[in-house]
Amino acid sequence: MARQRKRKGDPVHGWLVLDKPVDMTSTQAVGIIKRLFNAQKAGHGGTLDPLASGILPIALGEATKTSQWAMDSEKEYLFTIEWGTSTDSQDKEGAVIATSPARPTREAVGAALGKFIGEIDQVPPKFSAIKVNGERAYDLARDGEDFELESRKVVVHEARVTEMPDADHTTLHVVTGKGFYVRALARDLAFDLGCEGHISMLRRTRVGDFTTEVAITPEALEAMGEAPADRMTALLPLETALEDLPWVDLAPGDGDALRQGRTVKLLPHVMEAWRADDRSRREDRLALAMDGETALAIGEVRAGQFKPSRVFQV
């Protein structure tokens, strides 16, 4: 029987909230954090363009099993539209495809934003990671291929103008659901205003419960010490991305059974606490099983039992 190859690195588990600088890709950021922690496994909780700065949650070890919750969570952005030119990528890195002397007023921008609040149909930018017949859209766009992307439903919870320092620039703040593209909003907003425009600055300030208050730059992380262990205080627990899940406490001795993927019975007082939690009203009945202060698994609560679907080996 072939021996299983041992992973390189240490079994580090948790979330690192990186304040990503401009001109760094999300993949590069993950590589840097994986090196600094000498971690066996790492991944991010939602891509952030090289042009953009701000919150990039990076999952280490077993926290990667919770990445989808970060990707699906609310996000906040602060961005600036530069009026007068449109680019093929809708940001300042693209080639100019149109120009116009038209400039909107602050009042006009604010009024036009109302159309984009709520559930809307949005066509993603062609310069995006969406796959078209197995190919990334941005690769097809760079090769000059002619293709169209289908619109999708996205949600905008809030959109407002925060600043207009001059006629050429407008800064906006948006709070969105999953799958939303800020560059697409800039494109559509410019079209509705009869102007040309592109994103000249983009900063993500929140991903779910990951905020700038707990974020750290790569430079600050490097300065914490020479050894990976010196940086452990910068990590958040792996369950940080699961704030929308109710908790259920395991009975003494049930932790081992759960680690083996077995269904366990929940005590009556645990079920009462679960029912009293508003988060238990989820249709999927998902919950987070806790053994004291340790998160052990995500699973379903049904008929007084907890059936694990994702077990954390920590």
Write the DSSP string, 269-296: HHHHHHHHSGGGG-TT-EEEEEETTEEE
Q: In whole angstroms, how large is the CA radius of gyration of the chain?
A: 22
Burial zone of 248 (CB within 10 Å; 0-12 exposed, 13-18 middle, 19+ buried):
buried
The catalytic residue positions are 49
**83: number of CA atoms within 13 Å, CB side?**
22
Whether residue 309 contacts residue 65, with contact meaning beta carbons closer than 8 Å, is answered with no
Burial zone of 60 (CB within 10 Å; 0-12 exposed, 13-18 middle, 19+ buried):
buried
Give the residue from 155, 173, 18, 183 showing the smallest Cα distance to 74.
155
In whole angstroms, what is the distance from residue 207 CA to residue 225 CA? Answer: 27
**DSSP reduced 3-state for 210:** strand
**295: number of CA atoms within 13 Å, CB side?**
25
Beta bridge partners of 17: 57
Burial zone of 170 (CB within 10 Å; 0-12 exposed, 13-18 middle, 19+ buried):
buried
DSSP state of 244: T
Whether residue 241 contacts residue 208, with contact meaning beta carbons closer than 8 Å, is answered with yes
